[in-house]
Amino acid sequence: MNHFEYDAAGVLHGEGVSLVALAQAVGTPTYVYSHATLSRHYRVMDEALGGVDHLICYSVKANSNLAVLQLLASLGSGFDIVSVGELRRVLAAGGDPAKVVFSGVGKRDDEIAAALRAGIHCLNVESAWELARCAIVAEQIGLPAPISLRVNPDVDAKTHAYISTGLRSSKFGVPFDEALRLYRQAHASPHLRIVGIDCHIGSQIVEPAPLVEALERVLELVDTLQAEGVHLDHVDMGGGLGITYKDERPAPPRAIGEAYAARLAPRGLRLLVEPGRVIAGNAGVLLMRVLGTKTNGDRTFVITDAAMNDNIRPSLYKAWQDISPVNHHPDRPDEVVDVVGPICESGDFFAHDRTLPALVRDDLLVMRSTGAYGYSMASNYNSRTRPAEVMVHGDSWTVIRPREDVADLFATERLLPIARLPVVDSSS
Ligand code: LLP
């Protein structure tokens, strides 16, 4: 459920705010997030895990706007980060470092040091070399490193290949047999403190079975470690819960929460999860405007002022995302169109063969389900400024990031000194 609905006059609203009025005030393209939806999704997840001691570590990469992080922190959320940049964001938004886990396949020494100095909950370590670097940095700065190993349970998450991470052949995590050896090493190190175990098998997972299978495999390892006297406080099951983009019917968080609780609560293990998409995905839309339409051969194109640099998911993953007009147009005939951006690439499309009411210049559209991996993956390709971001709350709204100015794009670039330029002889 989300809070983007049409009113009786057929105008799409974000909570109590008309998106027509918002487009007029802020311009387009603009990402619009709902405060109520974000809060609701966090609470649903929290309640779903009620059967076991747990900590939700929202995955910052999904949507890292400070206002989003601030809202989630105020609800009690922890954070899953993958860079020192994300750590700085969490701290700037008032997040509690003691509720932060640091994931990622390759952390630099300065990132490990910054995380230890901030006092994070743990580093999710993904390889033997990373474990060694954690111990070295911990010794150098005189702070023991709390660690958890990300293990690769070799489970097929049955999702898009680019976002599937739990197979033996993927670059993520350490294989099971190696994990045991690394835990023994960590146990023997005076600079490392083992706090947990971690896995993340992929994203946009709609069936609970692969997640439960992964947990069962992880618990085999927990038992082996326990028998050797290596005690763990938590099991981190990562993120990955899928959402409805079109007609997917993801398992409700409660079903997964219950399956996790049944296996963890009796062992006295705390559960950590790292949800991103399920919290933010359907809490946001990308508001955009039609620049014009044209017909080439047998195809009709609707060209919008948003493009692949603003939301790359359709181009990168062939992701299907709903596109709806902001105003109902019951009087207009349906047309089958391609919705595309203005960028100089055929890969710059939002939808192929989509049935929409006939559109004309200046019509407003929204692309739904863009609250996660929308702005956070946006770029300045083609020297396009990234969109504004707005949070709606009840009848009011706040610009939580103004639209970039073109001057921002090259403000840090430098021209060569004149002396370095070749002298052009115009006489020859
Ligand atoms: N934890 C780890 C270690 C992760 O790598 C990820 C996502 C998450 C948690 C959060 O997963 P979620 O709950 O959002 O599924 N850009 C892609 C998704 C990439 C996911 C990367 N890792 C997309 O737009 O579909």
What whole-number distance in Å separates Cα of residue 307 and Cα of residue 409?
Answer: 17
Residue where a domain terminates, one of 277, 306, 334 = 277
DSSP string, 325-381: ESB--TTSPEEEEEEE-SSSSTT-EEEEEEEEE---TT-EEEE-S-SSSSGGG---G
Assess whether the C-beta atom of 250 lies below 6 angstroms from ligand 1. Answer: no
Predicted local confidence at residue 89, as pLDDT:
98
Q: Do residues 221 and 303 both lie within one domain?
A: no
Tens of pLDDT, residues 347-387: 999 999 999 999 999 999 999 999 999 999 999 999 999 99
Assess whether the C-beta atom of 236 lies below 6 angstroms from ligand 1. Answer: no
Predicted local confidence at residue 1, as pLDDT:
63
Instruction: Identify the weakest region by mean pLDDT among 171-175, 375-379, 388-392.
Output: 171-175
Q: What are the structure tokens assigned to 175, written together?
A: 């294989």
For residue 309, what are the domain limits?
A: 4-32+281-409
Q: Do residues 404 and 321 both lie within one domain?
A: yes
Assess whether the C-beta atom of 313 lies below 6 angstroms from ligand 1. Answer: yes
Substitution site in 68, 152, 203, 315 for ligand 1 pocket (most atoms within 8 Å of beta carbon): 203
- Is there a domain that residue 417 lies in? no
Assess whether the C-beta atom of 370 lies below 6 angstroms from ligand 1. Answer: no
Average pLDDT of the segment spanning 164-181 = 82
Q: Do residues 39 and 97 both lie within one domain?
A: yes
Q: Do residues 8 and 109 both lie within one domain?
A: no
Assess whether the C-beta atom of 80 lies below 6 angstroms from ligand 1. Answer: yes
Residue where a domain terminates, one of 247, 277, 307 = 277
Predicted local confidence at residue 237, as pLDDT:
98
Average pLDDT of the segment spanning 308-319 = 97
What whole-number distance in Å separates Cα of residue 331 and Cα of residue 121?
Answer: 57
- Residue 361 alpha carbon to ligand 1 centre in Å: 36
CATH number, domain with residue 374: 2.40.37.10
- Residue 423 alpha carbon to ligand 1 centre in Å: 51
Assess whether the C-beta atom of 276 lies below 6 angstroms from ligand 1. Answer: yes
Assess whether the C-beta atom of 104 lies below 6 angstroms from ligand 1. Answer: no
Assess whether the C-beta atom of 62 lies below 6 angstroms from ligand 1. Answer: yes
Q: Do residues 23 and 44 both lie within one domain?
A: no
For ligand 1, atom 9, the nearest C-alpha belongs to 239
Predicted local confidence at residue 156, as pLDDT:
77
What whole-number distance in Å separates Cα of residue 347 and Cα of residue 98?
Answer: 42
Tens of pLDDT, residues 93-117: 999 999 999 999 999 999 999 999 9
Average pLDDT of the segment spanning 323-330 = 96
Assess whether the C-beta atom of 375 lies below 6 angstroms from ligand 1. Answer: no
Number of domains in the chain: 2
Predicted local confidence at residue 162, as pLDDT:
66
Candidates 57, 134, 199, 344; catalytic one: 344
- Whether 313 shows a pLDDT value over 80: the answer reads yes
Predicted local confidence at residue 169, as pLDDT:
72
Of the pLDDT bands very low, low, confident and very high (cuts 50, 70, 90), residue 176 is confident
Q: Do residues 47 and 94 both lie within one domain?
A: yes
**Cα-based angle 41, 45, 48 (whole degrees, multiple of 5):** 140
- Is there a domain that residue 76 lies in? yes
- Whether 166 shows a pLDDT value over 70: the answer reads no
Of the pLDDT bands very low, low, confident and very high (cuts 50, 70, 90), residue 157 is confident
- Whether 167 shows a pLDDT value over 70: the answer reads no
Buried b (16+ CB within 10 A) or exposed e, 93-106: bebbbebbbbbbee
- Whether 3 shows a pLDDT value over 90: the answer reads yes
Average pLDDT of the segment spanning 249-273 = 96
- Is there a domain that residue 214 lies in? yes
Q: What CA dihedral angle connects 88, 94, 98 and 101, to 10 degrees?
A: -50
- Is there a domain that residue 361 lies in? yes
- Residue 141 alpha carbon to ligand 1 centre in Å: 31
At 262, which amino acid appears? Answer: A
Phi-psi region of 315 (alpha: psi -120 to 50; beta: other; left: phi over 0): alpha
Q: How would you list the strands of the sheet with 12-14, edge to edge?
A: 4-6, 12-14, 17-18
Of the pLDDT bands very low, low, confident and very high (cuts 50, 70, 90), residue 419 is confident
Return the ligand 1 atom nearest residue 280 CA.
14
Average pLDDT, the chain: 95
- Whether 426 shows a pLDDT value over 90: the answer reads no
Helices (H) and strands (E) in the chain, counts: 12, 21
- Is there a domain that residue 155 lies in? yes
What is the helix (H) or strand (E) element at residue 3, kind and residue range? Answer: none
- Is there a domain that residue 416 lies in? no
Q: Do residues 216 and 311 both lie within one domain?
A: no
Q: Do residues 64 and 20 both lie within one domain?
A: no
Tens of pLDDT, residues 120-130: 999 999 999 99
- Is there a domain that residue 428 lies in? no
Predicted local confidence at residue 420, as pLDDT:
84
- Whether 390 shows a pLDDT value over 90: the answer reads yes
- Is there a domain that residue 419 lies in? no
Tens of pLDDT, residues 61-88: 999 999 999 999 999 999 999 999 999 9
Predicted local confidence at residue 343, as pLDDT:
97
Assess whether the C-beta atom of 103 lies below 6 angstroms from ligand 1. Answer: yes
Return the ligand 1 atom nearest residue 242 CA.
15
Substitution site in 148, 164, 277, 279 for ligand 1 pocket (most atoms within 8 Å of beta carbon): 277
For ligand 1, atom 19, the nearest C-alpha belongs to 163
Q: Do residues 255 and 392 both lie within one domain?
A: no
CATH number, domain with residue 90: 3.20.20.10
- Residue 163 alpha carbon to ligand 1 centre in Å: 7
CB-based burial of residue 220 (10 Å sphere; 0-12 exposed, 13-18 middle, 19+ buried)?
exposed
Tens of pLDDT, residues 24-70: 999 999 999 999 999 999 999 999 999 999 999 999 999 999 999 99
Q: Do residues 392 and 285 both lie within one domain?
A: yes
- Whether 423 shows a pLDDT value over 90: the answer reads no
Q: Do residues 366 and 392 both lie within one domain?
A: yes
**Cα-based angle 324, 325, 328 (whole degrees, multiple of 5):** 115
What whole-number distance in Å separates Cα of residue 168 and Cα of residue 175?
Answer: 7
- Whether 2 shows a pLDDT value over 90: the answer reads no
3-state secondary structure (DSSP) of residue 84: helix
Instruction: Give the pTM.
Output: 0.96
Return the ligand 1 atom nearest residue 274 CA.
9
Neighbouring-strand partners of residue 301: 294, 338
Is 344 assigned a catalytic role?
A: yes
- Residue 274 alpha carbon to ligand 1 centre in Å: 9
DSSP code of residue 162: G
pLDDT > 90 in the chain, percent:
91
Neighbouring-strand partners of residue 270: 234
Q: What CA dihedral angle connects 82, 85, 91 and 93, to 10 degrees?
A: -100
Q: Do residues 224 and 312 both lie within one domain?
A: no
Residue where a domain terminates, one of 277, 293, 324 = 277
